[in-house]
Amino acid sequence: MLLQVDPIDSFSGTFRVPSSKPETQRAILTGTLAEGTSRIYNDLRCDETETMKNACRAFGAKIAERDGFLEIQGVGRSQSHIRRVIQSRGSGLVFRVVTALASVQRTPVVVTGDATLRNRVMEPLLQALRALGADIESIVGANKAPVVNWGRGLRGGTCRLPGDISSQFITAILFAAPLAEGPVEIEVTGEVYSPSYVRQTLASLTAAGIKVAASEDLRHYQVEPSSYQAQDVTTREDYTSASYLLAAAALFPGRTVLRRVYGDSMQGESAIVPILRRLGVSLAFDRAGSSLTVDNPPGSLRGAFEVDARDCPNIVPTLAALGAYVRGSLRVTGGRLTRFHKAPRIEAMAAELTRAGVDIEVLYDDGVPDGFEVRGAGTYPGGVTLSSWGDHRIFMSLFVAGLRMRSANRFSGSEDVRLSFPTFLEEFAGAGVRATAVEEENASTEAVG
């Protein structure tokens, strides 16, 4: 099944931005590991937060969905009701954190995932856990998922992790470290990519009563054994989800208002706001009303500058879609770790935009795709079929890019929006975007949203 999306000539309206997926997932974890009752207000409910909830239920947490909040009865350090097999599906964060937490156990635990997750890099995390005393191995023998923890517990000590593959390795060890038998020290080799995600983890741990001594460059950490404290948390907006609405607003004349968007976010992907301003888009925060307004006059995006994406990897696909319409050029670097995501995002966006007629060139650093340069145009013919490569962020970015083309395009992967932005199609339908489900052989059609 494909989704056929018609082009539009204007974009405006008031939209609700989904809550932060990283904040929701981290709050679910701290609530699970605490003794007592925690509440998460304004939580995001999507497939990947559901996967995190189910994994935490496997540790014995009782999680109830209330109207407007989650209620979690945590298990503290005991985790006595752990299941023998925990499913992570396609979530790298769930697999990595749950693998680290399972290493604390004194009973065998298998942590597994779907086919996409089984291809993702896990070796640095497994090596770090072994250095801390865990008896853990890859079932397939390639240091990838699924893994089995044989139940020796986590002794403590010093471990080393690379900083340029995934910040989730650091996050995973940090969540498990307070539950180890002794102090844990983490040393990170090389530069830390996606540092804002590590800072979000540190903020979550601090709020839950965990003290972490972290160096300013986020390359050294010390954690003493301690206990998580129950708390109430209110999550904020998700800037990666907001980026698709903001990019669409930037491509067309009109006024767009995004509710629940704050200007003081810790999220690295909030960089989308200054990037759009550099392209000539007018954006204003209304702090009292918790909203962001885009007033975009008729005209084209213009600029010739470079974006460093080391701390905003999840908007790399959005920037590629946006760059397709920048008169001049948009150069994005520092996105090398996106090759470890659900799809190799730089190559995926370059391949699909090239198919649509966009002048985009992949940039390499030491032979690794690190970014791209896009030389944009006012519009493109459209009428093409584009693949999401099985990645929800590729789909949403290509969807936005297609809105300004002259003919309708077809896209695979529309069902994957449920992973992070379940109301994506409904929000765009509210702006007048017409999307129709079609068979690949064009046998039938069905309106969506």
Known binding-site residues for 3-phosphoshikimate equal 21, 26, 166-168, 194, 341
Binding site residue list for phosphoenolpyruvate: 21, 92, 120, 168, 345, 393
Q: Which ranges constitute the DSSP H helices of 331-415? A: 345-355, 392-402
State the pairing for strand pair 85-87/368-375. unpaired
Integer Cα distance of 150 and 108 in angstroms: 4
State the pairing for strand pair 385-386/409-411. parallel
Q: Which ranges constitute the DSSP H helices of 281-391? A: 316-323, 345-355
For residue 151, with 0-12 CB atoms within 10 Å meaning exposed, 13-18 middle and 19 or more buried, which class applies?
Answer: middle
Binding site residue list: 21, 26, 92, 120, 166-168, 194, 341, 345, 393
Residue with tokens 């399972």: 102
Q: Is there a contact between 325 and 334 (Cβ–Cβ < 8 Å)?
A: no
Radius of gyration of the chain (CA): 22
* 3-class state of residue 213 by DSSP: strand
User: What angle do the packed helices 195-207 and 21-33 form, to 10 degrees?
Assistant: 40
The DSSP secondary structure of 163-206, one letter per residue, reads: SSS-HHHHHHHHHHGGGSSS-EEEEEES--SSHHHHHHHHHHHH
Integer Cα distance of 175 and 187 in angstroms: 15
Q: How far is CA 241 from the centre of its chain?
A: 9
* 3-class state of residue 371 by DSSP: strand
Residue 145's closest CA among 204, 199, 87?
87
